[in-house]
């Protein structure tokens, strides 16, 4: 027996030892996440404690505030922390919400199509296409948005009267909510499609057959039985896509317009052409201000908000998928 096993599987690689080593590694990973959470919130604390709940409120020009915060740390003056992030939060809500709504609708149809209705050649084309769209780097989406979509919107969709009507406040150049929403939709829809179609494939065939045997056509069977039983997958996919959308920084830094401005839907349809800047791109744009202590705290405060919301969403997705597993799916 002994010579059959190389010495590497002797006492040196006994099960207890391996288990302890792997366990130590796992604990390191868990510890790293805890360290990350603690660090981000500790660094963010000065900004939150100086502003209180007003941090999330509106008031003043966000870009001026960020500038004042940065300069106060540079010039050895008393640190300024006043920061009201509402325009950034509002922009995040609008862009994420818009993109998630559009992609929820389209991803559901595409997933149903791939799983149930597409002819073989079509689903053999669509699946690699979806995988490809999911793997294109965000900076490439950003580049294409900047050189194709943004000029198109600026030159052809926004009319001169519209540009004139907001001339003193903001300039409509095509860097806009609608550009950001459209590109973000293309980025997150593939993620949703793949999770939705996993869920749809896991629906018990017997349930669908039962419905088909009653003479219900395939379309209605799919939507009433298939899609309904795959609801946990749909929740999981949506929630994960929201988490991804909230954290998207680089693409949005390129095409959202990078102005701390809150587009107001009450102004009519023109608001979709207005520029703004969500939370995550704000960090990217101001990253060279990290050396100024108050700016550092402010950026970490933004990161803390992102971390909290993205982690909440992805853990909700995790719970939804656990539920899915309990019903035999996924």
Partner 1 sequence: MEPVRTPAPPEKPRAVAPSTAPQPPTPSPGGHTGAVEGTATWALSDRIGLAICWALGLLFCAIAVAIVVYLLVQGIKFLRPEMLWTPAAAGFSESETGGFSDALFGTLIVAVMGISLALPAGVAVAVWLVEYGRPAPLARITEMTIEAIAGIPSIVLALFGTVIFSSTALGFLSRTSEGVVFGRSFFAASAMLSLVALPLIVASVREGLNSIPRHVREASYAVGKTKAATTRRILLPTCRPQVATGAMLGLGRIIGDTAIIVVLLGATQNFAPVEGVGFPFNYLRGAGTTLTNFVYEASPTGNLNQPQKAYAAAFVLLLMVLALNAAVDVVHRRARKVGTWSH
Site for partner 1 in 222-281 (CB under 8 A): 223-224, 240, 243, 246-250, 253-255, 258, 280
Distance CA 167, CA 169 (A): 6
Neighbours of 323 (CB within 10 A): 16
User: CA dist 184 to 129, 137, 188, 322, Å?
Assistant: 17, 12, 6, 27
CB 257 within 8 A of CB 275: yes
Q: Does 283 bind partner 1 (CB under 8 A)?
A: yes
Q: Does 328 bind partner 1 (CB under 8 A)?
A: no
Q: What is the token pair recorded at 175?
A: 């860097």
The residue behind tokens 């020009």 is 61
CA angle 43, 46, 48 (to 5 degrees): 100
Nearer to partner 1 by C-beta: 22 or 164? 22
Window of 56-64, 155-163, 201-209, 269-277 that interacts with partner 1 by CB under 8 A: 201-209
Single out the residue of 93, 125, 164, 167 in contact with partner 1 (rule: CB under 8 A): 125
Among 101, 106, 102, 98, which Cα is nearest to 130's?
106
Site for partner 1 in 302-321 (CB under 8 A): 303, 306-307, 310-311, 313-315, 317-318
Q: Does 142 bind partner 1 (CB under 8 A)?
A: yes
Size of the site for partner 1 (CB under 8 A): 103
Q: Write the DSSP assignment of 117-154 as a string of letters.
A: IS-HHHHHHHHHHHHHHHHS-HHHHHHHIIIIIHHHII
Nearest distance from C-beta of residue 52 to partner 1, angstroms:
23
Q: Does 102 bind partner 1 (CB under 8 A)?
A: no
Site for partner 1 in 161-200 (CB under 8 A): 186, 189-190
Q: Does 101 bind partner 1 (CB under 8 A)?
A: no
Nearest distance from C-beta of residue 291 to partner 1, angstroms:
10
User: CA dist 12 to 27, 104, 136, 173, 256, Å?
Assistant: 21, 52, 44, 66, 56
- Across 166-312, where does the E strand assignment appear? none
Q: Does 157 bind partner 1 (CB under 8 A)?
A: no
Per-position x/- string for 34-73, each x denoting binding to partner 1 as judged by CB under 8 A, each - no binding: -xx--xx--x------------------------------
Q: Does 153 bind partner 1 (CB under 8 A)?
A: no
Which letter does DSSP use for residue 263 in this model? -
Nearer to partner 1 by C-beta: 27 or 164? 27
């Amino acid at each position: 027996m002994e010579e059959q096993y190389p010495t590497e599987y002797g006492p040196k690689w006994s099960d207890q030892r391996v288990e302890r080593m792997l366990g130590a590694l796992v604990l390191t990973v868990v510890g790293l996440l805890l360290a990350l959470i603690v660090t981000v919130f500790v660094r963010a604390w000065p900004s939150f404690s100086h502003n209180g709940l007003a941090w999330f409120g509106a008031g003043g020009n966000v870009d001026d505030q960020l500038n004042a915060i940065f300069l106060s740390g540079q010039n050895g003056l008393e640190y300024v922390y006043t920061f009201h992030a509402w325009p950034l939060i509002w922009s995040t809500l609008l862009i994420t919400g818009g993109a998630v709504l559009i992609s929820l609708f389209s991803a559901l149809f595409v997933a149903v199509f791939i799983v149930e209705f597409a002819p073989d050649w079509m689903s053999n084309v669509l699946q690699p296409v979806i995988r490809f769209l999911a793997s294109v780097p965000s900076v490439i989406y950003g580049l294409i948005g900047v050189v194709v979509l943004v000029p198109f919107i600026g030159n052809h969709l926004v009319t001169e009267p519209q540009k004139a009507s907001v001339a003193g406040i903001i300039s409509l150049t095509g860097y806009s909510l609608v550009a950001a929403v459209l590109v973000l939709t293309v980025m997150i829809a593939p993620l949703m499609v793949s999770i939705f179609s996993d869920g749809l494939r896991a629906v018990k065939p017997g349930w669908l057959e039962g419905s088909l045997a009653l003479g219900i056509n395939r379309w209605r069977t799919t939507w009433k039985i298939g899609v309904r039983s795959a609801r946990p997958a749909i929740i999981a996919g949506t929630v994960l896509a929201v988490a991804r959308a909230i954290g998207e920084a680089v693409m949005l830094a390129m095409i959202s317009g990078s102005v701390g401005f809150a587009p107001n839907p009450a102004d009519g349809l023109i608001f979709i052409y207005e520029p703004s800047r969500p939370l995550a791109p704000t960090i990217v744009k101001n990253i060279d201000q990290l050396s100024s202590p108050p700016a550092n705290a402010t950026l970490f405060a933004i990161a803390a908000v992102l971390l909290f919301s993205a982690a909440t969403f992805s853990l909700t997705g995790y719970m939804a998928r656990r539920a899915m597993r309990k019903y035999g799916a996924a």
